Structure 1
Amino acid sequence: MHQSKHSTTTQIQVPELTLKKGSKVLYMTHLALGDYVYQGAFLKALSKQYPDVQIDVWIDDCRNKKKSWHSGRNSTLQQWLAKENHLNTIYPIASSNEHREQLIADAKNQQYDFIVFVATTRAPAYLKVAQAINANATIVGTEPKNLLSRLFYRNQYKSLSTTIALSELATSQHISDFYNHIFSRLFAVSLDEQQRSREILVTNSLGEQGKQQINAWRNAKNLSNGPTIFINHISTNEKRDWQLSQLTELTAKLTEKSPNTLFVLNAPPHKFDEVSNWCAQQTNIAVEAFSATKDFFELPSVMQACDLVISVETAIMHIASSLSLPQIALIRESASSWRPLKANSVLEGKKRVDNIAASEVVVAAENILKLA
C-alpha cells in the first residue's frame, strides 16, 4: 500500500497592476485630512513594497465651482503631504478651471504608466481628467455611484483596464476596508486594521512648542497638576456639531471632578473669534481657544501635549488616531464606518451628534482619565 503525500501550497496574491522599476503612478482622489489618515497608510505601504516606483498624488476634487473651504484644505493637506518623502509630486486643489488645465498640462509631461482614481463622487469627472493626462496609460478607477450614471458613461468606462465597484464601499465595516480592498487587488498591498492609520510625525522642536503652550496656559490660570483636555465640537455640517450647552455641561462636570483641568477648545480659523468670545465668558472653568493658523503641524503638536481628545465627527478624531492619543469620538450612527480606529471610546448619536448626551461623555472621560 502506498501512502499519498499531500503538499500544502500558500496562495500568493497576484496584483492586477504590474509595477516595474521606474514605473510612474498617479493616484487621484478627493482628499481631506481624515481621508489621508487612511489612504496615506496604504500609499506609504505601496512605496515600501515598490521603492523604485514614482508615486504622485492628485488631490483636486474636479469640481466646476470652487468651495469656500478649498483654500484652507489645500494649505493643510499640502503642508502634511510635503513632509511625506515617499511621495514625489502633489497636484493641489485647483483654484479655477484655468488652473486645473495647467495642472493637467504639468501631469501630461510626466507620461504616467498607471493612473488610479478613487472617487466616491464625481467619478466620471476624474475619468475625464485621467484620460486628458494620458489616455495611453493603464487607467483604473471607481465606477459612478448610481445605475443611471453607470449606463450614461458606460462607453467612456470601456477604455479602462479595470474598474472598482462602489458596492465594495457599501459592504465595508470601516472605510479602511474599502482602501484595503483596492490596494490589495491592484498592488497586492494589504494592511491589518491597526496599521491603517498614517502616523503623523511631529518634530521634537514642534512637540516642545506644544508642551510650552499648554504649560503657559496652565500657569496663567494657576493650575497645578491636572489633566488637559482637547475638545473639538465643530465640524463642517451642523448634524455633526455638538451644542455649546452640552459643552458647558461637560466642562462644568469634569471641572467639579478635577478642579485643575484645563480645556483647550479647538476652532477653525473662521470660527475662532466666536469660540474665543465664548471662552472669555466662562468664569468657573479653565478654558482656552485654539486654532492652528500658521502651520498644520501646530495642531498635532498641541494635541499631543494633551491628556485626552474629545472630538465630533471631523478630521480631528482621525488625527488623534494618527497620534495614538486617548480619545472619545462623537459620531452619528450612520457614520460608524468612519469611526477612528484607535479611539478609546466611540459614542454614537442617532441621526445627529448632538443626540449624544453630555453625561455619556462625562462618564467616558472619567473612565479614561481615572477620575471616577
Structure 2
Amino acid sequence: MEQTNRIMTQIPQHILEKPGARLLYMTPLALGDFLYQSGYLQQIQRQYPQLTIDIWFDDLRKRSKSWQQGRNRILGQWLEATDYIEQFYPIPETSVEREEAVARAQQRDYDAVFFLSKSRVDRYEKYARRICPKGFVAAVAASKNRLKRFLFGARPDLLLALERFSLADGAHVSELYSHFFQQVFNLKVQTVKPALEVPESWQQRISARFKAQRQQGCRLILINFLSTNPSHDLSLDAVMSLAGEMLVLQTQLAFVLCVPPHELEHTEKACAAVPDALAGRVLAFTAQEHFFELPALVEYCDFILSVDTSVMHFASALERPLVALMRTNNRQWRPLEASTTSVVYAMGTDWVKDIPQSSIVAACEAQGFFHHG
C-alpha cells in the first residue's frame, strides 16, 4: 500500500465492492447497541451484496465479568437469527480462548476491519492489525490524541475521532451511529429506525407461561432493575417496596422481575419470601432458552419499568408503555421519544437508586399503569 497523508472519510469502494469481500466489525456490542446498529449493518449488506459481514463483540477486557457468558449466549442467539451476519466472535473466558479466536479470524483473510469503541482503543487497534495485517483498518474511536499516529503511520487507514462529531444538545445515540455508518460505508439511506420482530412461537410460549396471572385478571408490569453498572440499578428491596405501593393503587397487577441469568436464583428466593400482600404477584424471569424470550416478554407485558438496559430500548422499539429510570449523564441513551414513554432522571448523586419512589410511582401513574379497565 502506498503511504499517503490524505485523510480518508470512508472505506474505499473497490474494497467493499470486491467479489467475495469480507468485513470484520469489531465493537463492544450489547443488546441495546445491536438494536440501533442492526439496521445499518443490514443496509451495508444490501448495498454491497457481495460483502460478507462478521462481528467481533469481545470487548477486550483483561478481567472477565459475571455477565459476560450470559451476553455471549443471548446476543449470539440473536446474531444467529439474522441473515446478514455470517460469523461472530464472542467474549472469551481466558486469554487462550481469545488467541484461538484471533487465529480463526486470521484464517478468514478479511479485506477490511472496522472497529467502533470509546474505550480500550489501543487494544482494538492492536487486534484489528493482527487480524487484518494486509487489509484496510477503519475506526471510530474516542482517540483524538492518537489520530495523527493512526493516520500517518505505516498505512493510510481511516480513523474518525468521536470528538470530531459533536452530538447536538438533546441528540440521541442513534444519530451518532447514523452519522458514522453513513460516512464510513457511503450508505444511501438516512436514519434507520430500530425494528424488532418477535417470532410468533416465542410470543405463544410467553403467553402460556403467564396464563395463570391473566386468568386472575391481572395486568403485567415488567420491572427490569439490574444492569452491568451499579449506578444504573435499583435494589431488590426497592423493587418490592414499589410493587407493594403499586398494588395499593391498583389491585389487579402482577410483577415480572426481569434479571440476568446469574441473578435468577437469588431473585426467585426473594419472590418466595414476600409478605402476604405480594404473595403470587411477584415473579422472577430470565431468558433461559433463547434470546427471543426477552423481547417476547416485553411485547406481552402491559407496562414496562426499566433501568438503562436493552429492555428499555426493546420496549421503545415495540411501542410498549414505558417508564425508564436513567442517570442524567447518559441522556444520549434514553429511549426514543414517544407518547407511550416517560423518562425519570436521577438527580443529586446521579445514581438511579436515589430516585424517590414517589417520583417513580407518579411517572407510572401518568403512563396509565394503574388505570382501571
1:51 matched to 2:43 = no
2:100 is matched with which residue?
102
2:276 is matched with which residue?
283
Q: Give CA deviations for 1:34-78 in whole Å, capped at 9, x if unaligned.
A: 221112221122122222221111111223333332211111111
1:17 matched to 2:17 = no
1:207 matched to 2:181 = no
2:251 to 251, 259, 269: 259
1:292 is matched with which residue?
287
1:60 matched to 2:58 = yes
2:185 to 170, 184, 187: 187
Could you state the TM-score of these two structures normalised by the residue count of structure 1? Answer: 0.86
2:6 is matched with which residue?
none
User: Counterpart amino acid of 2:359?
Assistant: E
For residues 203 and 162 of structure 1, what CA distance do their matches in structure 2 show? 39
1:42 matched to 2:34 = no
Deviation at 1:192, TM superposition (A): 5.4
The alpha-carbon distance between structure 1 residues 244 and 89, as it changes in their structure 2 partners (threshold 3 A), is: closer
2:313 to 309, 312, 318: 318
The alpha-carbon distance between structure 1 residues 156 and 16, as it changes in their structure 2 partners (threshold 3 A), is: closer
1:329 is matched with which residue?
324
Q: Give CA deviations for 1:236-257 in whole Å, capped at 9, x if unaligned.
A: 2221112345424432332223
The alpha-carbon distance between structure 1 residues 182 and 152, as it changes in their structure 2 partners (threshold 3 A), is: closer
Deviation at 1:370, TM superposition (A): 6.5
1:345 matched to 2:342 = yes
Per mean C-alpha deviation after superposition, the further-off stretch among 357-366 and 152-161 is 152-161
2:161 to 161, 165, 169: 165
Deviation at 1:152, TM superposition (A): 10
The alpha-carbon distance between structure 1 residues 113 and 78, as it changes in their structure 2 partners (threshold 3 A), is: same
The alpha-carbon distance between structure 1 residues 309 and 192, as it changes in their structure 2 partners (threshold 3 A), is: farther
1:241 is matched with which residue?
233
SS in 2 for 1:369: coil
For residues 235 and 93 of structure 2, what CA distance do their matches in structure 1 show? 33
2:89 to 88, 91, 103: 91
Q: How many residues align?
A: 351
Deviation at 1:283, TM superposition (A): 2.0
Deviation at 1:123, TM superposition (A): 1.2
User: Counterpart amino acid of 1:56?
Assistant: D
1:8 is matched with which residue?
none
2:361 is matched with which residue?
362
User: Counterpart amino acid of 1:242?
Assistant: L
Q: Give CA deviations for 1:343-363 in whole Å, capped at 9, x if unaligned.
A: 611111121112322222222
Deviation at 1:367, TM superposition (A): 2.7
1:216 is matched with which residue?
212
2:73 is matched with which residue?
75
For residues 76 and 318 of structure 1, what CA distance do their matches in structure 2 show? 16
SS in 2 for 1:345: strand
Does the 8 Å contact 2:31/2:75 carry over to 1? Answer: yes
The alpha-carbon distance between structure 1 residues 114 and 330, as it changes in their structure 2 partners (threshold 3 A), is: same
1:178 is matched with which residue?
176
State percent identity of aligned pairs. 33
User: Counterpart amino acid of 1:267?
Assistant: V
Per mean C-alpha deviation after superposition, the further-off stretch among 14-23 and 157-166 is 14-23
Does the 8 Å contact 2:295/2:311 carry over to 1? Answer: no
Does the 8 Å contact 2:111/2:136 carry over to 1? Answer: yes
Structure 2: gaps of 5 or more residues: 1-8
Does the 8 Å contact 1:324/1:342 carry over to 2? Answer: no
Deviation at 1:154, TM superposition (A): 5.0
Deviation at 1:270, TM superposition (A): 2.1
1:231 matched to 2:217 = no
1:4 is matched with which residue?
none
* RMSD (CA atoms): 2.5
Deviation at 1:159, TM superposition (A): 2.5
Q: Runs of 4 or more off by more than 6 Å in structure 1?
A: none
2:140 is matched with which residue?
142
Structure 1: gaps of 5 or more residues: 1-13
Per mean C-alpha deviation after superposition, the further-off stretch among 164-173 and 280-289 is 164-173
